[in-house]
Structure 1
C-alpha cells in the first residue's frame, strides 16, 4: 500500500511525487505518456520557477539542455512599450523557455531518484472508493493488464481534463469560459535576446527563444474569432505577425521546423481541490488562460503547497482533512488575484483610459517596468502592486517627470 498515488507525472505531478518521496513517504506516480514526450504548453519558466528548480537541485540539469536566458521582457502596446529585465529572485535573474521534452523528463527522473515508483504508459480508468473515501486507483499498465493499487491519498495532477477530478465530481468556482485561442510554431533564425509580447488589440503575438536555437512564435485571438481563424490558419497566423514588421521580416526569413499547434477551449477556474482520500494539484485544480505564460510556475507553487500539507497529514501533525483544507485556502488566497488579472488581460477588450495611462507611466520608468514584470512573474503580489496607494505613487512619479 502506498502513502500517496499521484496521477499525472508532468510539471505538477512529478514535483509532488519527488517532494513527498524526499520526505520519506511511499509514493507511486503514474502517467499515460512515456517520457520524454511533448505536450501543448507555453513552456516558459518565469524567474521564480527558475529559483525553485535551483532550490530543488535540478536547475543545472535543465540548463544543460541549452535554453538561452531571456535577458529582457518587452510588452509592446504600439504607442509605448514596457521593457526591461524582470526582478531577480533568490539570485536568479533570467527566465528560460524550456521544451517540455526536456523539463518533464528531468522532473520525472528526479521523482524516481527521490524514491518514488514511476510507471509510464499507465492509464487510470477509475478510483477505488470505500465508505465515501477514495482508497486507490484502478488502471491498465503498458501491457494492458488491469492493475489495482491502494493508498492513503490519491493526488490528481492529470491536467485540465482530469480523470481524478471527474471521478470525484470536483466542482468549479470563480469560473470564466475560454477567452482566447492560440496557434504556435517553432522557427529557426527568429530568436532575439528575450521575450517579445506584442499587444495588437484583437490579436497578440509572442516570441519565446527556446532550446536548439529555436523560437516559439505564438499568435492568440479572441474566441469569437476562432471560427474564422481556423478556416485559414496559415493566413490568419501570418497576417497577425505581419502587423509587427520587424518580426514579420524575421519570420519570413526564418525556417519553420515543426508543425503548427493549437490551443483552444482553455477555461479559467478553480476546482474544489480536496475531499476524503483525494486532492488536486496544478491544472487539475486551478487553470487559467495562458496569456501570462505562468502555468509551470503555478504548478511548482501548488506542488510545494500541497506537499507541505500532505506531509503534515501523513505524519499525524494534524488531521489530513484539515491539512488539505489549509492547502486549498492558501492556494486560492495566492492565485485568485492572478486569475482575475488573467481574465482581464485575456479578454482582449479595449482597456479603459485609466489603465492605458497607468501602463504608459510604467513604460516611462525603467525601475517601474521591472517591478511591473515582477507582478506578471509572481514575485510581486498583484494586490500590492495594483493597490490604490501604489497606483497613485506611480502616477505621481510620472507627473513629476
Structure 2
C-alpha cells in the first residue's frame, strides 16, 4: 500500500484527522480539490468543545495570533426576554471563535503538513478502488483521481480511505453509505461581513420568521448571519433584502445602517440535515460527510473537529487490532449529536414554541441557568439535561411547567 490512510477533503475534519494520524506515526495522504487558502460557505463558529480541542492540539493560540477574536459573552434576544451571560469555561476555553475559513483551513493544512502528512491541493477524486483494483463492490483500497489540469488519472492505494469531503461526499456516495434521519432543507442561510459594526461579544436574535446572529471575526469585521424559511430566499439573497431582514430585531436598525457591507453576500438553500453510517470495509466518514445539520445553530466546525479527534483515535486503535473501535466511534458520535441535531431541526423549522413565552422570562432571572442555556448552544451542556423536566421545573416552577405543557398541547391542536 502507498499509504496507511488517505483522507479525501482537507478542510477542518480532513486536515485535523490527517494531522492527528500523522502525529500518531501513520503514513497519511490528504487530498482536496481546493487550493489553500480558499474560502467556502461556512457557519464560522468554533463552539467551545472545538476550541478546547484546538487548544489541546496547540493550534488555538496560533488562530488567535492570526487575528481571530474571542466572544466570551452573549446577548440572546429571544423575543419574550433577553438573556445576557458569559460562557462557562470548558477544558480551559471560555469563548466562541469565528475565524474566516481562509485563515482556519490554511492553518490546519499547515499543521497537517508539519506533522508529516502529505497534502495534495487541487486534486480531484474521481472514484474509489476496491480489492483487485476494480471499482464497484469489495473492500476500499484507495482512490483514483488527478490534479486539476492533468490528463492522466492516478491510482493511489491505502489501508483506509477517510471521506471528509462535505455533505455531498464523493466517498459516501461511492460506498453507498446508509443515510438516516434525513431532513430536507428548511432554511435559507445568508451572511455577510460588515465593517464599523462593533460588538462586545456575540448577539443572537430569534423571531418566529428569522434568526439573526452577529459574531466578531478577523480584520475587525463582524459576520452577520441570517436564517429564514426557505420560501423567503428570494427576498433576502440580495444586499437590500438582507439588510432589511437583519435590521428588524432589537436595536439593530441604526447599527446596520451605519455599517458597511464588505465583499459579497453569501447565500444558499443547500442546508439539508442527514446522518450517515460512518464506516465500512476500508472506509470511514468524518465531519459533514457523516453528519450534517442546518447551520442555524453553528455546530459544523466544532462537529468536524470532534469527529477528527474521535475518528483518529478509532483508526489508531483499529490498526492496533481493536475490531470494535469504529463501532464505538459511530455510537458515541450519534449519542452526542442526535439531541442537538433534533434541536437544530426545531429551530430550522421556524415553528413558534408558545412555551418560550413562559420559559425565557423566567430564565432571564437566573444567571446560572442562562449560562447553562448558553452551554447547550455552545456544546458544553447536554440538551437532554437542560430540557429535562427536573431542570425546567427548577426554572419555571411546577405551575410554569404545566403551563408550558398546556401551551404546547394547544398549539398542536390548532396547527
The TM-score normalised by the length of structure 2 is 0.91
1:138 counterpart (119, 140, 144): 144
Per-residue deviation, 1:209: 1.0
CA deviation vs aligned residue, 1:64-120 (integer Å, no higher than 9, x gap):
111222131121122311221111112222211111111111111111111111111
Matches of 1:369 and 1:340 in 2, distance apart? 21
Contact 1:3 1:314 in 2 (8 A): no
RMSD: 1.6
Q: Deviations over 1:111-138 (max 9, x none)?
A: 1111111111111000001261100000
Maintained 8 Å contact 1:364/1:398: no
Q: Secondary structure at the match of 2:327?
A: helix
1:228–1:69 Cα change, 3 Å? closer
Q: Tell whether the 8 Å contact from 2:53 to 2:305 is kept in structure 1 after alignment.
A: yes
Q: How far apart in 2 are the matches of 1:37 and 1:345?
A: 30
Distance 1:379 1:265 in 2: 28
Please tell me whether residue 366 in structure 1 is matched to residue 367 in structure 2: yes
CA distance in 2, matches of 1:87, 1:346: 26
Q: Which runs of 5 or more residues in structure 2 are unaligned?
A: 132-136, 401-415
Alpha-carbon contact 2:201-2:215 (below 8 Å) kept: yes
Alignment of 1:37-116 (within 5 A): 37-116=38-117
SS in 2 for 1:262: strand
Distance in 2, matches of 1:330 and 1:195, equals: 30
Residues 1:174 and 2:181 aligned together: yes
Task: Name the SS of the counterpart of 1:258 in structure 2.
Answer: strand
TM-score relative to the length of structure 1: 0.94
Corresponding residue of 1:193 = 200
- Aligned length in residues: 393
Q: Tell me by how many angstroms 1:218 deviates.
A: 1.4
Question: Secondary structure in 2 aligned to 1:212?
Answer: coil
Larger mean CA deviation between 132-141 and 168-177 belongs to: 168-177
Secondary structure in 2 matching 1:174: strand
- 1:289 aligned onto 2:294: yes
Provide the secondary structure at the position in 2 that maps to 1:66.
coil
1:149/1:351 Cα in 2 relative to 1: closer, same or farther (>3 Å)?
Answer: same
Residue number in structure 1 paired with 2:345: 343
Once the two structures are superposed, residues 47-67 of structure 1 have per-residue CA deviations (whole angstroms, 9 ceiling, x without a partner) of 222211110011111001112
1:361/1:398 contact within 8 Å kept: no
Residue 225 of structure 1: CA displacement? 2.2
Which residue number corresponds to residue 124 of structure 2?
A: 123
Maintained 8 Å contact 2:247/2:253: yes
Counterpart of 2:320?
Answer: 315
Q: Whole-Å Cα distance in 2 between the matches of residues 388 and 200 of structure 1?
A: 25
Q: Is the 8 A contact 2:63 2:107 kept in 1?
A: yes
Deviation, structure 1 residue 244: 3.0
Gaps of 5+ in 1: none
Q: CA, structure 1 residues 398+119, in 2 after alignment: closer, same or farther (shift >3 Å)?
A: farther
Return 387-396 or 162-171, whichever deviates more: 387-396
Residues 1:237 and 1:398: Cα distance change in structure 2 (over 3 Å): farther
| 2-structure distance, mates of 1:357, 1:24 | 54
More divergent stretch after superposition (235-244 vs 131-140): 235-244
State the alpha-carbon separation in 1 of the partners of residues 269 and 346 from structure 2. Answer: 18
Equivalent residue number for residue 271 of structure 2 = 266
Residue in 1 that maps onto 2:408 = none
